[in-house]
Chains A and B, each alone.
Chain A
Amino acid sequence: MSDIILDQAFMEEDTQKGKFLTFVLGTEEYGIEIKYVTEIINLQPITVVPEVPVYMKGIINLRGTIIPVMDVRLRFQKPVREYNDRTCIIVIHFEDVTIGLIVDSVAEVLNIADGDIVDPPNMNQTSQRYIRGIGKVNGSVKLLLDCSKLIGDDELQQIKPNS
Chain B
Amino acid sequence: MMEHGKREPMFEMFLYESNQLIEQLEQTILDVERCGAMTLEQINQIFRVMHTIKGSSAMMMYNHISELTHYAEDLFHYLREHPSAIDDPTSLTDLVLSVSDAMKSELRKIDRGEETKDHFSELVADVRAYIHNLKEQGVGGKTAPSNALRETVERQPQAKLARSDRAEPGTTAYEAVLRFDEDCGMENIRCFTVVHNLKDNADIFGYEPEDIMTNHEGSSERIRRDGFRIAFSSPQGYDELIEFFAGSSYISKVDLTTVAAASETVEAVPEQDARPSADSKTPAPTSAMQAAQESIQSTQSHFLSVNVEKMDKLMDLVGELVISEAMVTEHPELRGLQLDQFLKAARQLKKITGELQDVVMSIRMVPLSATFQKMNRIVRDMSKKLNKDVALHIAGQETEVDKSIIEHLSDPLMHMIRNCVDHGVEAAEERAAAGKPAQGAVWLEARNAGGEVWITIRDDGRGLDKNKILAKAKSNGLLHKAEEEYSEREIYSMIFLPGFSTKEAVTEYSGRGVGMDVANKNIQALGGTIHVESVLGKGTSVVVKIPLTLAIIDGMTIKVGDSRFTVPTGSIRESFRVNDEEIIRDPDGNEMLLIRGRCHKVLRLYERYALRTEVTALDRGVMLMVEYEDEAVCIFADELLGKQQVVVKSLPPILKKINGVSGCTLLGDGSISLILDISGLLQPAA
Interface residues of A, Cβ cutoff 8 Å to B: 45, 47-52, 56, 59-61, 63-64, 66-68, 97-99, 151-152, 156-157, 159-163
Contact = CB atoms under 8 A, between A and B. Distances in A.
A47 B659 CA distance: 17
B686 A68 contact: no
A162 B317 CA distance: 36
A67 B666 CA distance: 12
Interface string B646-675: 000111111111111100101000111110
7 contacts: A47-B564, A49-B655, A51-B659, A64-B316, A64-B320, A64-B666, A161-B657
A19 to B, nearest CB: 25
B654 A99 contact: yes
A151 B653 CA distance: 12
A48 B316 contact: no
Nearest to A96: B653
B485 interface: no
Given A47-B674, A66-B672, A99 B659 contact: no
Contacts of B672: 47, 59-61, 66
Contact of A68 (B610, B655, B659, B673): B655
Given A50-B611, A59-B672, 20 more contacts: A47-B674, A49-B655, A49-B661, A50-B660, A51-B686, A61-B672, A64-B317, A64-B320, A66-B649, A66-B650, A66-B666, A68-B654, A68-B655, A99-B652, A99-B654, A152-B654, A159-B656, A161-B657, A162-B659, A163-B686
B671 A49 contact: no
B609 interface: yes
A61 B674 contact: no
B204 to A, nearest CB: 49
Contacts of B317: 64
A15 B654 CA distance: 30
B562 interface: yes
Interface in B669-686: 670-674, 683-684, 686
B608 interface: yes
Ranked 6 nearest A-B pairs via Cβ? A50-B609, A47-B672, A161-B659, A64-B320, A68-B652, A51-B658
Nearest to B647: A64
Contacts of B316: 64
Residue among B654, B660, B664 with most chain A CB within 10 A = B654
B659 A59 contact: no
Contacts of A163: 686
A50 B610 contact: yes
Contacts of A47: 563-564, 664, 671-674
A48 B154 CA distance: 73
Interface residues on B, range: 35 or more
Given A61-B671, A156-B656, A48 B562 contact: yes
Contacts of A97: 652-654
Nearest to B684: A162
A52 B656 CA distance: 9
Contacts of B666: 61, 64, 66
Contacts of A51: 609, 658-659, 686
Contacts of B658: 49-52, 161
A56 B659 contact: no
B659 A49 contact: no
A98 B654 CA distance: 9
Residue among B317, B564, B651, B655 with most chain A CB within 10 A = B655
B329 to A, nearest CB: 18
Nearest to A60: B672
Contacts of A63: 320
A50 B661 contact: yes
A3 to B, nearest CB: 13
Nearest to B323: A64
A52 B655 contact: yes
A66 B609 contact: no
Contacts of B686: 51, 161-163
A66 B608 contact: no
A49 B672 CA distance: 10
B656 A49 contact: no
A163 B685 CA distance: 10
Nearest to B665: A66
A67 B654 CA distance: 9
Residue among A47, A67, A68, A157 with most chain B CB within 10 A = A47
Contacts of A64: 316-317, 319-320, 323, 666
Contacts of B673: 47
B318 to A, nearest CB: 11
